Structure formats: structure tokens, C-alpha cells
Structure 1
Amino acid sequence: MNSNTLKDSGAKLMNLAHRFVLTVSGKRLLAQPFGMPLVELHTVGRKSGQPRSCFLTTPVHDSKRVVLVASKGGDDRHPDWYRNLQAHPDAELVINGERLKVHARTASPDEKAELWPKIVASYQGYANYQKRTTRDIPVVICDVKD
């Protein structure tokens, strides 16, 4: 088993464990990891066409947009959820118990420059993730559809 397979398996296991703890605790435990709201992202698999979901945090959000960071913990590869959104940008998010239809797009360099200080202020770990990789970590803006 190569290190990428091991990392990916670990990330999937963490997501399953997070889902289990949320379910068992009635969504009281792990609802605000690192002080950020938890988001459940629902996408369509880029290869399979099957529904996919994962838990992420949002360091910046308001009623019109939810910002996600495709950090993958500083890995040199983009996370699968990001690649799924690139292929199928219309998705759904559940945040604070509300299900929202969104259109996802990668922030422009100017948008990222404006958002990055707010993202890092919300969670310093994102700056550390960027230091771990030569990949420019994408910032994803999920515009809420009316």
C-alpha cells in the first residue's frame, strides 16, 4: 500500500468517525471543529456519477456564500470533493441544519488574496497546510442559489 492510499484511507476513516460521533451525540459533539461551523457537502462523483458527501469546515460564510478550503491537510493532491465540484459545480450544503443549493467556483487570485487572511484568522492550521505543500491550495466559494 503506497503512502497516498494510506493517507486517503485515513481521511475516509476520519470522515466516517466524525459522521458516527455526530449521529450518536445528536449533532452536539464535533459540530464546531476548530471553532468553525461544520458543513456537510453533497456532490456528484466526477467518475462514478454517484452521490458523494463529506464533512468540512467553513472559515468564512454568510447568507450568500459559504467558503471552503481545499487543503487536504497540506497534501500535494487536491481533495476528491474539490475535483468533484470542478466537474459538477452545482451541489448542496447542510450548514446549521439548513440544506442549501449552491454553485461552487474556485476563487480568483484577487478573491483568494482578500479571503486568505480571514481564513487563516479563523484557523491558523490553513497557513501550516499551505507551507506543507507546493500546491496552491484552492479556496472554493459556494454561492447560495435563490
Structure 2
Amino acid sequence: MTDIDWDHPIDPKPGWTLDHVKQYVSSNGAEGQFWNGTQTLLLTTLGRVSGKPVRTPLIYGEADGRYLIVASKGGHPEDPLWYKNLKAHPEVRVQVGPKVVQGTARTATPEERAAYWPVMVGHWPAYDEYQTKTDREIPIVVIEPTRQVA
């Protein structure tokens, strides 16, 4: 997948998430990285059907030089689309503030999830509530940066 146009992803539908992405991108991460008392990044996955890049703003944490994100979908019974995408295509792009990196995403092991869940709840306490709303175990995704892009 070397001919992917990572610089022109599909953004969210109109609404607050699109507004958030536009603010983040237009300010090169100076605005939008910090949102509602937490920190956010822009995750770009490859659509599992289309193969096209799709960008999503998400809350993140960090551990051992890796980025952590939670596939909560607010406690919905189904996984979010971005998570389904990265399970099919683990190569991702992440923008954190002005920094842009390519990376490889994977679901945290049970041991990692046990260690990282409190970290992520520290960033967004509602994750605990989301977990009570669903029978699925909400995954934590670990993104290993592979190279810096910008």
C-alpha cells in the first residue's frame, strides 16, 4: 500500500467532530489538541472496504513512546468503524499537535489493557461508564510510531 494519499483523508461528516478536525488541521495542532480537559490526536486509518484514508479525532494517552487510544464508541455494543479499519489495515497515520507520524496499530494484550485502562480513564473518566454500558470488552489500541512524517 505504497500509493496511499495519506495527505488527503476523508474527514468526518458535518458536525462537531468535523469542526474539531478542521480546527486541528488549520492550526497545525496548535488548537484542537487540547479539548474538554483532555488531549486529542487525529488518527488516519485505511478504510477496510474502500482502502482510502479516513481521519478521526480521538482522546489519547502515551506509554513507552507509544500512543494509546480507546475503541469505546461511547459504550455502544459495536466497535467503532476506525477500529474495524485498523484491524483490517494496521498501518495508520497519527497527528499529535504539529507532529505527524506513521505507525502500526494493534489491540493491547490483556496485560497491557489492565495496565493502560487506568491511564486512559485518567484522561477521560467516562470510559469506566462506557464499559458498564456494553457487554464487549472495550479495546485499547497501541500505536507504535514507525517514522516521523512532519
Post-superposition offset of 1:141: 0.2
Cα 1:27–1:104 change in 2 (3 A) is: closer
Q: CA RMSD in A?
A: 2.2
Name the residue aligned to 2:113. Answer: 112
Taking the aligned partners of 1:13 and 1:122, their CA distance within structure 2 comes to: 23
TM-score, normalization: structure 1? 0.82
Instruction: Give the fraction of aligned pairs with identical amino acids, expressed as a percent.
Output: 33
Taking the aligned partners of 2:91 and 2:101, their CA distance within structure 1 comes to: 11
SS in 1 for 2:15: helix
Cα 1:84–1:23 change in 2 (3 A) is: closer
Taking the aligned partners of 1:106 and 1:130, their CA distance within structure 2 comes to: 16
Does 1:98 find its partner at 2:69?
no
Cα 1:12–1:77 change in 2 (3 A) is: farther
Name the residue aligned to 2:7. Answer: none
Tell me if the contact between 1:37 and 1:96 (Cα under 8 Å) persists in the aligned partners.
Answer: no
Q: What pairs up with 1:56-135 in 2 under 5 angstroms? A: 56-58=58-60, 60-62=61-63, 64-135=65-136
Taking the aligned partners of 2:22 and 2:76, their CA distance within structure 1 comes to: 25
Over 6 Å off, 4+ runs: none
| Structure that is richer in strand per residue | 2
Taking the aligned partners of 2:140 and 2:120, their CA distance within structure 1 comes to: 9
